[in-house]
Amino acid sequence: MIQSDFHGVILCGGSGSRLWPLSRQFAPKQFIRLTDERSLLQHALLRMGRACGHPPVLVCNEAHRFIVDEQASELGMPDIEVILEPCQRNTAPAILAATLRAMRHGEDPVMLVMPSDQLIDDSDALEASFAAAHEAADAGAIVVFGVEPTGPAAGYGYIQADGEAGHGTVRPVRCFVEKPAPALAAQLLGDGNYYWNSGMFVFKASVLVGEFEARAPELLSLVRQALADGNGNDAQFRLARGAFSACPDISLDYAVMEGTARAAVVPLPVSWSDVGAWDAVWAAVPKSAEGNAAVGDVLLEDTHNCLVHSTHRLVASIGLEDIIVVETADAVLVAHKNRAQEVKRLVEKFAGQHRCELEHHREVKRPWGAYDSLCEGPRYQIKRITVKPGASLSTQMHHHRAEHWVVVSGTARVRCGGRHYLLTENQSTYIPLGEVHSLENPGKIPLEVIEVQSGAYLGEDDIVRYGDAYGRS
């Protein structure tokens, strides 16, 4: 792909609730390896790098910053700039914050903004669309990329274009249609002038800011305040919580695109999917002669056109058709493929029940490694803790639980009260309730520890931190 002088921005704040149980609040779909060994975010990083020739800026939630760092480092991109949102406020505040930040030294770049959770065929046609959008944006247009519909999908927004269709043509936008009902989606498909809204934009920074000044001045003022009151450097900048949380939860489409006379659409004539639900995942991955997409330890008999995804154990099926089965360590989803969009309704119901399965997987990622909750019961819990080489947990204390640690592999440096000592494989230690303690891996291989907690309360919020290398409170 030919590189252009874009200022690249990747939006990394989505939740992906329709892909539960694989997508969770603290591990949403952009960080999941859905179709191959790379996550959707990693594919977006590589795509943006090919388009721009330099690392992009990422806008993400504070809760995900360590996952972003880890996945970017896996690609050899440790120097990306990250803008941290204290809360989700949709695409308009996020894009505006990245745009204003790009102008902080007096520059007026052409911005290329793309979500982090899409599958796109990187081809010469994509390169041509980017070039056409850059030229139009340089002339003052705010460009959105439109995808040629392949069916009457009700889960996508639609863009109606003015003028005659033509490959690579920049066309004015006549109107936007937000996720139409199936009957209307079929009608739009037959019209021929409608595209799916990809959520990818190209614009000159000053042009977009001018549109916010005219159409959403209060939002512009709040984002400017969030930047002025924020803190950080060129590698990581945290938006101020007060001003940013006061921003309306609004998309760029609603805030600007539906009212501006500058909106233009450029066709994106490539294979594209926002993998917004499990039926889209089934459509995007390789399938057997029976139409089945199987991931993990799966055995299928007399099964057709199904998606069966296993992460922790054998999943077997007999006599299924058009069914989705997704297994994780702590939850299983079974749904008809035609009702994949309705998984969001389940998630909303679970939220009302305060189910922990919406937030984390059983294995929870941390900046120092991960922990896996193996077993729990009244007054006890057993975890497997993995600490990266050179990493350490915070210096902390618990009011309500004591802990026993057994080293399975590697070397542990332990502080317990006034004592500092090393533990190696098959050695153990006891951390009394109320004792200040820390755990560090001074070695060159991962440290594996089995932790047995006992006490009246075992919640993760029973942590008083006295020191933390990762800036957590």
Q: Say which CATH number the domain at 137 has.
A: 3.90.550.10
Kindly list the strands in the beta sheet with 363-366, ordered across the sheet, starting from the edge strand earlier in the chain: 363-366, 369-377, 380-387, 447-455, 401-409, 428-431
Tokens of 168: 């690579």
Residue 243 lies in a domain: yes
Residue 28, preceding bond cis, omega within 30 degrees? no
Cβ-proximal residues to 19 (8 Å cutoff; 6+ apart), any chain: 29, 32, 34, 275, 276, 277, 278, 281, 343
Distance CA 323, CA 228 (A): 50
Residues 186, 81 within the same domain: yes
Distance CA 268, CA 447 (A): 47
Residues 396, 453 within the same domain: yes
Would you report the helix, strand and coil content of the chain in percent, each value rounded to 5? 25, 35, 40
Distance CA 128, CA 149 (A): 19
Q: Write b or e for each residue in 279-314: b if 16 or more Cβ atoms lie within 10 A of its Cβ, otherwise e.
A: bbbbbbbeeeeeebbbbeebebeebebbbbbbbeee
Four-CA torsion 420, 421, 423, 429, nearest 10 degrees: -60
Distance CA 443, CA 451 (A): 19
Residue 357 lies in a domain: no
Residues 44, 189 within the same domain: yes
- Between the alpha carbon of residue 208 and those of residues 35, 95, 145, 223, 351, the distances in Å are 35, 10, 16, 14, 36
- In the three-class reduction of DSSP (H, G, I as helix; E, B as strand; rest coil), residue 293 is classed as strand
Of 273, 302, 318, the position where a domain reaches its end is 273
Residues 262, 341 within the same domain: no
Domain extent for 330: 278-348
- In the three-class reduction of DSSP (H, G, I as helix; E, B as strand; rest coil), residue 29 is classed as helix
DSSP 417: T
Query: Given this model, what pLDDT does residue 185 score?
Result: 77
Distance CA 32, CA 328 (A): 13
Say what angle helices 205-215 and 91-102 make with each other, to 10 degrees: 130
The domain spanning residue 446 has which CATH number? 2.60.120.10
Residues 170, 219 within the same domain: yes
Residues 39, 20 within the same domain: yes
Nearest alpha-carbon partner for 305 in 326, 330, 331, 279 = 279
Q: Determine contact, residues 11/68, Cβ cutoff 8 Å.
A: no
Residue 35, Cα to own-chain centre: how many angstroms?
15
Measured from the Cβ of residue 259, the count of other Cβ atoms closer than 10 Å reads 13
Query: Given this model, what pLDDT does residue 151 score?
Result: 81
Query: Given this model, what pLDDT does residue 427 score?
Result: 98
Residue 298 lies in a domain: yes
Residue 214 lies in a domain: yes
Residues 42, 179 within the same domain: yes
The domain total for the chain is 3
Nearest alpha-carbon partner for 175 in 188, 164, 159, 199 = 159
Residues 43, 131 within the same domain: yes
Residues 102, 244 within the same domain: yes
Residues 53, 162 within the same domain: yes
Of 273, 290, 306, the position where a domain reaches its end is 273
Indicate the pTM of the whole model: 0.88
CA atoms within 13 Å, Cβ hemisphere of 207: 20
Residue 46 lies in a domain: yes
Residue 40, Cα to own-chain centre: how many angstroms?
8
Residues 175, 252 within the same domain: yes
Residue 471 lies in a domain: no
Q: Which helix (H) or strand (E) holds 191?
A: helix 182-191
Q: Are strands 363-366 and 369-377 parallel, antiparallel or unpaired?
A: antiparallel
Query: Given this model, what pLDDT does residue 177 score?
Result: 84
Q: Are strands 395-397 and 464-467 parallel, antiparallel or unpaired?
A: antiparallel
Distance CA 76, CA 451 (A): 33
Distance CA 152, CA 267 (A): 18
Residues 194, 287 within the same domain: no
- In the three-class reduction of DSSP (H, G, I as helix; E, B as strand; rest coil), residue 175 is classed as strand
Residue 75 lies in a domain: yes
- Report phi then psi at 60, rounded to 5: -145, 165
pLDDT one digit per residue (tens) for the chain, 473 residues: 445 689 999 999 877 889 999 999 888 999 998 888 899 999 999 999 888 878 899 999 998 988 999 999 999 988 789 999 999 999 999 999 999 999 999 999 999 999 999 999 877 788 889 999 999 999 999 999 998 888 877 778 889 888 766 555 899 999 888 887 777 877 777 777 888 999 999 999 999 999 999 999 999 999 999 999 999 988 899 999 999 999 999 999 999 999 999 999 999 888 898 888 999 999 988 999 999 999 999 999 999 999 999 999 999 999 999 999 999 999 999 999 999 989 999 999 988 898 889 988 999 989 999 999 999 999 999 999 999 999 999 999 999 999 999 999 999 999 999 999 999 999 999 999 999 999 999 999 999 999 999 999 998 889 999 988 887 66
Residue 356 lies in a domain: no
Of 224, 239, 273, the position where a domain reaches its end is 273
